[in-house]
């Protein structure tokens, strides 16, 4: 919902030099009916959904004692419930019937190591680890894989420049990651038919320094 007005333009800009075509369709991942409609549109316009990447997510840099109930619920609804809704919709749209598919969830290193001012965000990303592994067990016999990429500090609009500068010294590779490096990991997991239930760090070796 946050990026509703810019999603299609952003997608075209990002992929304009790539082969194939770009199609955009927005939905509110916090609303199950909206998610079902988006999956139905996708199947109608583009054919069977074989891959699902649950990358919709929001962050909140705020101490827990200063976080309102509404802010907590919005973040958890987007990051956790939204992932559940999208996964369920993709399964019911045809993955289960065809006994084929791949789901890749996007987590965060914060979900394991924690971070000051990100208690709610960390809780949401930690939840996705259990979600990923449990769903992988549910779906393995149906030839559907479920995995997670766990980015470290990536140079995106969700990570403040001053925060990136402060943590670079703790990253063995001495730089933040790039979005395309996360995308390559997503592609690897989505296309790996015998890898499931795995959490793949994309963090420049950050966990080695913990």
Contact call for residues 79 and 129 (beta carbons, < 8 A)? no
Give the residue numbers annotated as catalytic, written as ranges: 121
């Amino acid at each position: 919902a946050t990026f509703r007005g810019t999603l299609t333009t952003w997608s075209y800009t990002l992929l304009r030099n790539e082969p194939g075509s770009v199609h955009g369709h927005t939905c509110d991942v916090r609303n199950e009916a909206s998610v079902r409609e988006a999956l139905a549109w996708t199947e109608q316009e583009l054919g069977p959904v074989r891959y699902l990447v649950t990358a919709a997510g929001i962050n909140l840099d705020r101490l827990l004692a200063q976080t309102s109930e509404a802010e907590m619920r919005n973040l958890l609804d987007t990051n956790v419930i939204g992932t559940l809704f999208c996964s369920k919709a993709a399964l019911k749209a045809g993955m289960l019937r065809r006994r084929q598919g791949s789901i890749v969830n996007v987590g965060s290193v914060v979900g394991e190591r924690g971070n000051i001012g990100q208690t709610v965000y960390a809780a949401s990303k930690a939840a996705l680890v259990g979600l990923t592994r449990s769903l992988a067990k549910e779906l393995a016999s149906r030839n559907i894989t479920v995995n997670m990429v766990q980015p470290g500090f990536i140079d995106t609009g969700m990570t403040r420049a001053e925060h990136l500068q402060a943590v670079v010294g703790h990253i063995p590779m001495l730089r933040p990651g790039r979005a395309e490096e996360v995308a390559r990991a997503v592609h690897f997991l989505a296309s790996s038919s015998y890898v499931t239930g795995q959490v793949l760090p994309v963090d420049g070796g950050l966990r080695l320094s913990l």
